[in-house]
Structure 1
Amino acid sequence: MPQSTEPNRREFLQGSLALAGTILASSRQGEAETPSKPAKQPNLIFFFGEGQRADALSLAGNPILKTPHHDRLGREGMRFTNAFCTNALCAPARAVAMTGMYSKSTGAYANEDAGTPLPEDIPLFTDILRAAGYEVGIVGKTHLRNGAEDRYWDYYFGHNAPSNNYYNPTYKEGRRGKIGPEKRYKNVWADDLAVQRGLNWLDEDRGDKPFCLLIWFMAPHAPFYRPRRYLDLYRDTVIPKPATFDDDLKDYPGKARCFAAAENKIGTTVMVDTPRSLEEITKDYYAALVGVDDLIGEVLAYLERRKLLDDTAILHGSDHGYFLGEWRLFDKRLMHEPSIRVPLMIRYPKRIKAGTVRNEMVLDTDLAPTLLDLAGIEKPANMQGKSVLPLAEKADPAFRTEWYYEYFEWPNPEATPPCRGVRTERYKLIHYTRDPQEYEMYDLQNDPNEVNNLYGQPQYQDLQKELWERLERLSAAVPERKRSA
């Protein structure tokens, strides 16, 4: 079998970070000079969902979930039908979103090292915005290495953990670069509190400075609670069973043995956070997202009251997708479509025509460059993604024809195997990297549900060889930063 040729022999190319590091150093000191910029930069709001699948929107055709405020962003802006994450796990995905770089290049491989900051020579896009004159704030789930507490925030109200106590949450609060101790808040829904603190900060006088506020939701992360106002929602709703839900009874035909052995299975995995039935997880997941939709509506209403809505560019995405019973799975991590597909919508009428829909493949590495582009700021050379804003002008079939996926965490709570892979517009190759190495390959055009594994079949040997070559080339093009000791 082909072996991995990850470029471990290469040192990370520090020279490409020199300019970005200079910007970051200035931002840390709070004394950065403001570069030339447009006469009026937009305010920025970055909504980041937690495990929100691409189809977890009524605008995307979900027959059960109703998300009118999410949908408004898509109707009044640009929506992508093929948006993906490059590492389907909370903390690594958030590092990708903040840096525009692959996990392999930042060293933020997994949910480990919660107390370790990202390397100082890698700027967050918020560092760059602040150096350009923005005030920057973040509220909600700041699960990103050390919660990005070492970076300068004009306002910070965050918790650095996979989840929080939904009804009695803990947060750290900070202003002007200083963050206080963790505090517990009683009898309040975690996301409601975070959004309210964010809106309170927006109310403060900042003169003519633009703001960038990151609103990063915790719901619907496990344990699968829902807001009190929605405890009765979906009581009489029938949840359809995915076509592959019972594939375990057939010993997972065509799937790698490490896939079959993983413990991310609804109903039989015994852990504190795991779902006991398809109905339980799906209804709680949807109800929590209705709560998130309420909060997006509150932010939009606030911006309208302040007459700021059309002067504010709003981006909505998610850290990763989520399995809701496909192959009887829950959670994420794997490279199959429910896990890697995410929503992405951008509303900014001054640059984006309402109702724009694009089918190009876009990635979470593109988020930071796009937010900088909205602000009129050129991305630093180290960022591996690219702005998606040119797609607001016209479709571009050549925007991205292939991309690289990576997932590293091992061991992990559900024994989900580490993997890497390549996805093209039509095909996918998955390489499970532990011994024994295993493989899956799919024709997504003819097999969108990924049930017919083509790997090793004689008639697909040429395709298999081509995908391997593409995978190795894409992997080698991503510089590697060594893991921390």
Structure 2
Amino acid sequence: MYPKTNSAGRKTTRTLMAIGLIAALFSCTTQKEEGEATSNERPNIIFIMSDDHAYQAISAYSDKLIQTPNIDRIANEGMLFEKAFVSNSICAPSRAVILTGKHSHMNGLVDNAVKFDSTQMTFPKILRENGYQTAMIGKWHLKTAPTGFDYWKVLPGQGHYYNPEFRTENGTVLDSGYVTDLITDFAIDWLEGAKKEDKPFMLMYQHKAPHREWLPTEENFREYTTKEFPEPASLFDDYSGRGTAAKEAEMRIATHMGVTSDNKIHPDIAEKMRYENFLTWYPNAYHNNLDRMSKTERAAWEAVYGPINEEFEQADLRGEELTKWKYQRYMQDYLASIASVDENVGRLLDYLEENGLAENTIIVYTSDQGFYLGEHGWFDKRFMYEESFRTPLMIKWPGVIKEGSRNTDLVQNLDFAETFLDAAGVEIPKEMQGKSMLPLLKGEQVEWRDALYYHYYEYPGIHAVKRHNGVRTDRYKLIHFYYDVDEWELYDLEKDPHEMNNVYEDPAYAEVKAQMHQKLDELVDQYQDKVVVPSK
């Protein structure tokens, strides 16, 4: 499955595939006969991360929206984490936390406007210093050049879906093709060289998809634009059970999602029908995205989206009917973009298996944060509410992780760096703030954390999600919204898993509230976060 032919003409013939497979099998057999490949070898590490991939859109978690058989392979052959979370639900800060093993206030990258300090310690640098080959391919999004890598090829900023540019040490290059396919092509190309070296490798293989504005491939948009998806129960949430922050956030599908850039309606049609663009750049984004396509790609796109535009113009939808339509269009393109990620993850997994590389390789699949798929009427992320705070996580490591296992401990993106260093037998720097998940991967019964700390900073800013920090235990969540407000929210996740009713002022929860305030104080002190004083 792993070879891919795209519009750039990146072709791998069946003959070359067969030769490569025979050579790999011969090499693998020879290694085992000579006693070189043993369980004591340091593992290879492949860290697969997509952008904005909601756990609700992975069939290993739920099959209500999509089937993701290849991503599911990692869970089926390894461990699925049911309570994995982030420390700051926004792209660049999440990536900085993963690299450094430190919270945003400690690594310095608190929001998307800040540049990453690439001189600081990261786990790729440490692995490289300890004999690993290291590579970073795909979405970087940290404004500075990657450091700590033998090889890197990354998208500038958010990158583009069609015919994207890539930054390299030698400058920026334009590649023809679809971004998810290209990132996988480059990853496999690098692995071809890495497997020949007599030392382990660490590859960060990171996708742009399914980040906004969700432009799928022809194969997938032809399929998914014919599908209809179930609406979440809270699609028309009125936020009556919460405070100012939820009411004032600007990420509602009804009023803040663009019918042009997001739902792919031509700006001329939207203007004629007097559909307002919430942000002035929406029409430009529509043109910038579609104008990158080749004539062939654009013709295929218009063959499907042209009739959608015509039907939309004739329907003249308003109010709730428009919101329902926008939700379906959102899901069609978002999930179609994920379908391509799943296909390409399958290509990479097949390559590893067919080249004798799967046996001693840790494979991680995750996202930089969660995402709203219409819950509370929203798209995007940022909040400490579950759909944004929680992220998918599955890890495969043959011979170490029991196949088909599930974990319910509170883990966080703060823990990746420590886990990789521990697995590689490298000392974990004391300044890192997370915990190695290695005991959990081995199925050991260990004392683990009982609470997670969260802090979001990007306000004022796009989507207008107010600054907040908070603590989550296995059952409860306490959130403090601050800066231009001073509001508290407390949720009983056992009784109210969708966080519809704030019980902070409920006398029945007085003792719980006091305990959660104490726990929040403890975590603020533990992680040395003195930006705000959270407790009353």
Query: Same fold per TM (> 0.5)?
Result: yes
Question: Aligned partners of 1:460 and 1:139: how far apart in 2?
Answer: 48
1:226-265 equivalent positions in 2, closer than 5 A: 226-248=216-238, 252-265=239-252
Q: In structure 2, do the counterparts of structure 1 residues 240 and 224 end up closer, same or farther at CA, with 3 Å as the change threshold?
A: same
Residue by residue, what CA displacement relative to the aligned partner does 1:245-288 show, whole Å, maximum 9, x if unpaired?
A: 1123xxx2121112201111103116575557111112211111
- Sequence identity (%): 36
Offset of 1:325 from its aligned partner? Answer: 0.8
Partner of 1:65: 66
Q: State the TM-score, normalized to the length of structure 1.
A: 0.85
Question: Aligned partners of 1:380 and 1:145: how far apart in 2?
Answer: 25
Structure 2 unaligned residues grouped into runs of 5+: 1-38, 264-322, 532-536
Contact 1:254 1:451 in 2 (8 A): yes
Q: In structure 2, do the counterparts of structure 1 residues 126 and 326 end up closer, same or farther at CA, with 3 Å as the change threshold?
A: same
Question: What is the aligned-residue RMSD (CA, Å)?
Answer: 2.0
1:75-474 equivalent positions in 2, closer than 5 A: 75-113=76-114, 116-118=115-117, 120=119, 122-146=120-144, 148-149=145-146, 151-161=147-157, 163-173=158-168, 179-186=169-176, 188-204=177-193, 206-248=196-238, 252-269=239-256, 274=262, 277-394=326-443, 396=445, 398-474=447-523
Residue by residue, what CA displacement relative to the aligned partner does 1:439-475 show, whole Å, maximum 9, x if unpaired?
A: 2110001110111110112232222122112112211
Contact 2:133 2:200 in 1 (8 A): yes
Contact 1:358 1:395 in 2 (8 A): no
Question: Aligned partners of 1:49 and 1:136: how far apart in 2?
Answer: 19
Paired AA for residue 165 in structure 2:
T
Q: In structure 2, do the counterparts of structure 1 residues 481 and 454 end up closer, same or farther at CA, with 3 Å as the change threshold?
A: closer
Is the deviation greater in 239-248 or in 331-340? 239-248
Question: Aligned partners of 1:117 and 1:337: how far apart in 2?
Answer: 27
Partner of 2:280: none
Q: In structure 2, do the counterparts of structure 1 residues 447 and 211 end up closer, same or farther at CA, with 3 Å as the change threshold?
A: same
Paired AA for residue 156 in structure 1:
W
Residue by residue, what CA displacement relative to the aligned partner does 1:317-374 show, whole Å, maximum 9, x if unpaired?
A: 1110000111111100001000011111111112112111111111001111111122
Question: Aligned partners of 2:124 and 2:149: how far apart in 1?
Answer: 9
Paired AA for residue 67 in structure 1:
T
Question: Aligned partners of 2:225 and 2:201: how far apart in 1?
Answer: 41
Paired AA for residue 142 in structure 2:
L
Is the deviation greater in 368-377 or in 94-103? 368-377
1:2-81 equivalent positions in 2, closer than 5 A: 40-81=41-82
Question: Aligned partners of 2:499 and 2:446: how far apart in 1?
Answer: 24
* Paired positions, count: 431
Contact 1:356 1:392 in 2 (8 A): no
Q: State the TM-score, normalized to the length of structure 2.
A: 0.77
Question: Aligned partners of 1:330 and 1:117: how far apart in 2?
Answer: 26
Q: In structure 2, do the counterparts of structure 1 residues 182 and 292 end up closer, same or farther at CA, with 3 Å as the change threshold?
A: same
Question: Aligned partners of 2:504 and 2:358: how far apart in 1?
Answer: 50
Tell me which protein shows more helix as a share of its residues: 2
Is the deviation greater in 317-326 or in 366-375? 366-375
Offset of 1:407 from its aligned partner? Answer: 0.4
Question: Aligned partners of 1:397 and 1:452: how far apart in 2?
Answer: 34
Paired AA for residue 303 in structure 1:
L
Q: In structure 2, do the counterparts of structure 1 residues 119 and 305 end up closer, same or farther at CA, with 3 Å as the change threshold?
A: closer
Q: Does the residue aligned with 1:246 lie in a helix, a strand or coil?
A: coil
Paired AA for residue 55 in structure 2:
A
Contact 2:122 2:148 in 1 (8 A): no
Q: Does the residue aligned with 2:432 lie in a helix, a strand or coil?
A: coil
